[in-house]
Amino acid sequence: MNAAFPAFLCAVLFSAAHAEFPAPENDLVYDTPATVWDEAFPLGNGILGALVWGDGAPLRISLDRTDLWDLRPVPEYHAPEYNYATMRQWEKEKRVKELEAMYDNPYNRPAPTKIPAGRIELTPKGAAFAGARLGLADATARADLGGVKARVWIHATEPVGFIELDGVESLDVRLAAPAFGGQEPGEAKPAISMGDLAQLGYPEPVPRSGADFQAYEQEGWGGFRFSVFLAWKQDGDTWRGAWSISSTRDGDNTMARAEARARRALEGEWDALRASHTAWWENWWGQTRVSVPNRAVQRQWCLDTYKFGAAARGNTPPITLQGPWTADNGQLPPWKGDYHHDLNTQLSYWPCYSGNRLPEGLGFLNWLWDTQDAPRDWTKRFFQMPGLNVPMTADLNNSQIGGWRQYTHSSTTAAWLAHHFYLHWKFSMDRKFLEERAWPWLRDCSVFIEAVTAERGADGKRTLPLSSSPEINDNRPEAWFPSITNYDLALIRWLLGATAELADELGRAEDAAHWRGVLAELPELALDDDGGLSVAAGIPLKESHRHFSHLMAFHPLGLVDAANGDTDRKIIDASLARLDRTGSDYWCGYSFAWLGNMAARARDGVRAEKALETFATAFVLRNGFHCNGDQSGTGLSKFTYRPFTLEGNFAAAAGVQEMLLQSHTGVIEVFPAIPETWKDASFHQLRAQGAFVVSAARKDGKTVSVEIVSETGAAPRLRSPWTGEVLDLSNPAIETPGVVIHREKNRWTLTAAG
């Protein structure tokens, strides 16, 4: 190994680390006020959320807490006829109305649902909106209201929000509870929102107020309660307020707890909490950084990485459809603000792996683990089979809440969730996690899959009696396909192979052999006449569709990969070509974000950049929220609505990272999928499988440096960005032309010579 270590290397690798990041041009800056909730400045810390909007007459701060839920049960899902065998029989008998009544229609009721926490309205005398900025670097919203300057933030780790107004002559303060009662539920029918909050039928809130506070306690369904407390004090023309929300999930005395948090923050800890908040966000941005020359893509990555930092923590509920930013418009949130496990939760956590945010990603896995009793009970009651499956639509307890039956009662939902347990193990190499979480989860999912695929198809292979491909054919009877779909088959094949792999890692040879034996009894993936992945055998993708479920084997599962050779390369090319032919008429924003990931995996940087730029310029609102529909007016999609959901944001962030670093084959590749026009690009501390932390820089169209840190001490394998050869860096004598290689303990640095 060449021991030379050019002095400029540190500057190349770490110059970005000391620059201001994210740069101020990535902030949200408004010259006109946000007049609707979904264009507000988002703040959050995983448990509390806030949306800051309005023109100052009033300044609105919409409040949220991520464990505020109406968890009333669905009675149909406890009926005697609620079981898999009956579902199969009704499907065979074409009893569509009965199937819809049992499985689909309950979702159209107001509850169960995520619920909001109300709103603070502040109206300073003489307020006149002059501009506002959300600083990503310190997660603080600022507004210029003429003579009054406002600053709003939520502490990064403590359940308290803060408001500071300077230049206040007089101020009207109002804490408003959501309108939860007074309206009978209307006829249950499919919609994005199930109607007004008032249909929930809660009693009126119990308000409290005094000279320096306003508060209320709200009773929800089944004895659930929460309290919101806002305290304030004024010193001269400076007004400071602190607020908190407590629910019965914290304990019984919700009002006292919320008051104690708010007053403690206001009266004695303001400066210390501000300092610790700022330090947390400095660490967040110092952890991982990327720099790419496409302005729209770079800014969207910064906005989405900020949102992930505001929405995800290891010890809070995981990200729902809207995360900690439940709708504040008097309506129930889009699609109940629930957990959708056929795409939404999975895409929401894609960026945490290569993005080096594993502690935040654990919030999802911890929740899946801690709530598994409900899915296990459901698996036993509904399927009447051993092992573990998970409902596709779920509430805070991960209980089934229904909707389109072909997906909500899918047999493979837990298998996709298992992929996240697997990814955490591969990116962390945390042995304890492998033994205590990943292996048990994958094993139990495989036990269920072995049972549910016991029947044989005409080919003599294992099959699923009811198989679907989200969300092709919507909830029409033909959404159950005549043979197993590539969506289900890919997940099953991946799960069994991964379970065997983990068994090998743990020295469980008998288990590994068993699961490989079950895998051998499954059919191969189905191909269409062009050689691409079809929806099911003999059924190609025939029209534009928002969900690329038939391509799961390619991405994210990696069963089909160009690294496997020309055969797989042709399958990938044909599959993407069919997407081009069917077009984007019925795509959502997340479709473009997912395409960015797939194109990057296919090493097509031009296509990846175009997809991610399209997402950033056409499918987000001005605050960066993914709104599903095309806002460009250019006909990119016939969906032009604007329901906000987060999975598109986080899938887009993952797509940028996939362009810059890949490691799913066991070989680290830097800049594997960037367009030639990206002459200068860099990233600092992205994460590769094997628990390697990687930094790299590209200048004038050439890679100039790579740094790899091994957290386990194992040596990495790197595809040289200079020669294309695979370098086994465990070899102390390794050399490669034109490259200087230096190792210091568990750190390898490679730089272009000269």
Ordered by start, the domain boundaries in the chain are 9-17+670-752, 31-71+115-287, 76-110+403-524, 529-583
Q: Identify the pLDDT of residue 10.
A: 41
State the Cα–Cα distance between residues 235 and 198, nearest whole angstrom.
Answer: 39
Burial class of residue 75 in the structure, from the number of CB atoms within 10 Å of its CB (0-12 exposed, 13-18 middle, 19+ buried): exposed
Q: Identify the pLDDT of residue 178.
A: 97
Q: What is the mean pLDDT of each run of 10 residues along the chain (754 residues)?
A: 42 53 98 98 99 98 99 98 98 98 97 98 96 99 97 99 97 97 67 84 97 98 98 97 97 96 94 98 98 99 99 98 97 96 98 99 99 99 99 99 98 99 99 99 99 97 98 97 98 99 99 99 98 98 98 99 98 99 98 99 99 99 98 98 98 99 99 98 99 99 98 98 96 91 97 88
State the Cα–Cα distance between residues 239 and 233, nearest whole angstrom.
Answer: 6
Q: What is the pLDDT of residues 557-576, one digit of tens each?
A: 999 999 999 999 999 999 99
- Against a cut of 0.95, is the pTM above it? yes
Topology adopted by domain 31-71+115-287: Beta-galactosidase; Chain A, domain 5 (2.70.98)
Long-range contacts of range 432-441, CB-CB < 8 Å, 24 or more positions apart?
A: 434/502, 434/505, 434/506, 435/506, 437/365, 437/369, 438/502, 439/502, 439/503, 439/506, 441/368, 441/369, 441/388, 441/417
Q: Please answer whether residues 696 and 732 qualify as being in contact, where contact means their C-beta atoms are separated by less than 8 angstroms.
A: no
Q: Please answer whether residues 621 and 634 qualify as being in contact, where contact means their C-beta atoms are separated by less than 8 angstroms.
A: no
Helix (H) and strand (E) counts for the chain? 20, 28
Q: Identify the pLDDT of residue 189.
A: 63
Q: List CB contacts of 69: < 8 A, sequence separation 6 or more.
A: 112, 113, 114, 115, 224, 395, 396
CA atoms within 13 A on the CB side of 124: 27
Q: Identify the pLDDT of residue 193.
A: 74
Please state, as a whole number, how many other Cβ atoms lie within 10 Å of the Cβ of residue 506: 15
Strand partners, 164: 151, 240
Owner of token pair 């930092």: 309
Q: Identify the pLDDT of residue 6.
A: 44
What CA–CA distances, in Å, run from 467 to 446, 487, 537? 17, 9, 12
